[in-house]
């Protein structure tokens, strides 16, 4: 995302949040399909008269996906710093490192969960009649079924333990989270008993999320009219006001094949 400055008539300039794809530059070099989708979803024919909702949800999704990337980085950092002790006491050790990992794992799980819930709202705009929550949508025969995306089952169970039962403890010798499920609960992947979930599996949730959303985006982007006109924002130099020009949807879709080639 970028914050862009726009002049107004007879008043102060406005600073407006814009999609990163609206700014010509090196941002075009690495574009995942889901980011192209959040830029163009409001123009899908299935959205019809709900373009404002699609626009709002897609920007919210970009914020949540940023949180996923950020918390994934923080988790790797917390793992690397675990027991990085210079003066090691023989009988006492600080528990801060373990608590930091628990906090970041919870933040990452929540960011993924929030992303899924916003995806469900967008999916509901495209497919009216679906349930409102992502988990309920996944139980239906839709693109996001648990059968198709096995990682979702473990994700929901791990998050439930963190959010509702607080039985998770870190075990750094094996770099895993330990769960003690003491009674039968309505689970998708984990039964009653003791479980060790490697932290790499938690990190993999975020990777699987982006892979799933990329495939979802690729299934919907072909519905767009490639000749539809869009208004693009550009900047010639760092010290000149932003300009505007008309481009075609197909020019954005071309980014799926990589950055544009120089003439």
Taking the whole predicted model, whether its pTM rises above 0.85 is answered as yes
Q: 249 vs 2, 36, 42, 125, 131, CA distance in Å?
A: 20, 10, 12, 21, 31
| Residue 72 contacts residue 206 (beta carbons within 8 Å) | yes
- List the beta bridge partners of residue 178: 169, 196
| Residue 97 contacts residue 130 (beta carbons within 8 Å) | no
| Residue 42 contacts residue 220 (beta carbons within 8 Å) | no
Strand segments, DSSP code E, in 132-257 are 169-171, 176-181, 193-198, 229-234, 243-248
**Length of the chain, please?**
263
Q: 231 vs 22, 26, 228, 234, CA distance in Å?
A: 8, 19, 10, 10
CA-closest candidate to residue 60, choices 3, 125, 10, 111: 111
Q: How does pLDDT run across 70-104, given as a tens digit for each residue?
A: 999 999 999 888 766 666 667 777 777 888 888 99
Dihedral angle of Cα 228, 233, 234, 235, to the nearest 10 degrees: 170
pLDDT of residue 57: 96
Strands 11-18 and 176-181: unpaired
- Residue 185 pLDDT level (bands cut at 50, 70, 90): low
For residue 62, give the 3-state DSSP assignment.
helix
Q: How does pLDDT run across 37-68, given as a tens digit for each residue?
A: 999 999 999 887 899 999 999 999 999 999 99
Report how far residue 93's alpha carbon sits from residue 86's, in angstroms, rounded to the nearest whole number. Answer: 12
Report how far residue 48's alpha carbon sits from residue 223's, in angstroms, rounded to the nearest whole number. Answer: 13
Q: What is the mean pLDDT of residues 197-212?
A: 95
Tokens of 247: 């481009």
Strands 229-234 and 11-18: unpaired
- The HSE-up count of residue 173 (CA atoms within 13 Å, CB side) is 0
- Residue 164 pLDDT level (bands cut at 50, 70, 90): confident
- List the beta bridge partners of residue 194: 180
Burial 236-246 (b: 16+ CB within 10 A, else e): eeeeeebeeee
Model confidence at 260: pLDDT above 60:
no
Report how far residue 51's alpha carbon sits from residue 35's, in angstroms, rounded to the nearest whole number. Answer: 17
Model confidence at 26: pLDDT above 70:
no
């Amino acid at each position: 995302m970028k914050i862009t400055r726009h002049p107004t008539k007879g008043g102060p300039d406005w600073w407006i949040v814009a999609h990163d794809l609206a700014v010509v530059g090196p941002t075009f070099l690495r574009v995942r399909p889901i980011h192209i989708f959040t830029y163009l979803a409001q123009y899908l024919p299935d959205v019809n008269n709900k373009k404002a909702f699609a626009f709002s949800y897609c920007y919210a999704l970009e914020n949540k996906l940023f949180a996923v990337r950020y918390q994934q980085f923080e988790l790797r950092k917390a793992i690397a710093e675990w027991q990085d002790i210079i003066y090691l006491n023989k009988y006492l050790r600080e528990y801060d490192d373990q608590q930091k990992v628990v906090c970041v794992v919870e933040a990452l799980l929540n960011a993924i969960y929030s992303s899924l819930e916003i995806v469900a709202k967008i999916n509901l705009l495209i497919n009216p009649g679906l349930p409102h929550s992502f988990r309920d949508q996944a139980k239906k025969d839709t693109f996001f079924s648990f059968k198709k995306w096995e990682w979702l089952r473990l994700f929901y169970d791990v998050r439930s333990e963190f959010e509702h039962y607080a039985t998770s403890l870190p075990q750094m010798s094996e770099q895993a989270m330990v769960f003690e499920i003491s009674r039968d609960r309505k689970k998708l992947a984990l039964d009653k008993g003791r479980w060790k979930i490697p932290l790499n599996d938690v990190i993999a949730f975020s990777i699987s999320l982006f892979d799933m959303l990329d495939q979802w985006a690729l299934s919907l982007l072909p519905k767009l009219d490639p000749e539809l006109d869009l208004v693009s924002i550009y900047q010639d130099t760092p010290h000149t006001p932003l300009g505007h020009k008309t481009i075609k949807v197909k020019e954005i879709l071309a980014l799926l094949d990589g950055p544009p080639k120089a003439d």
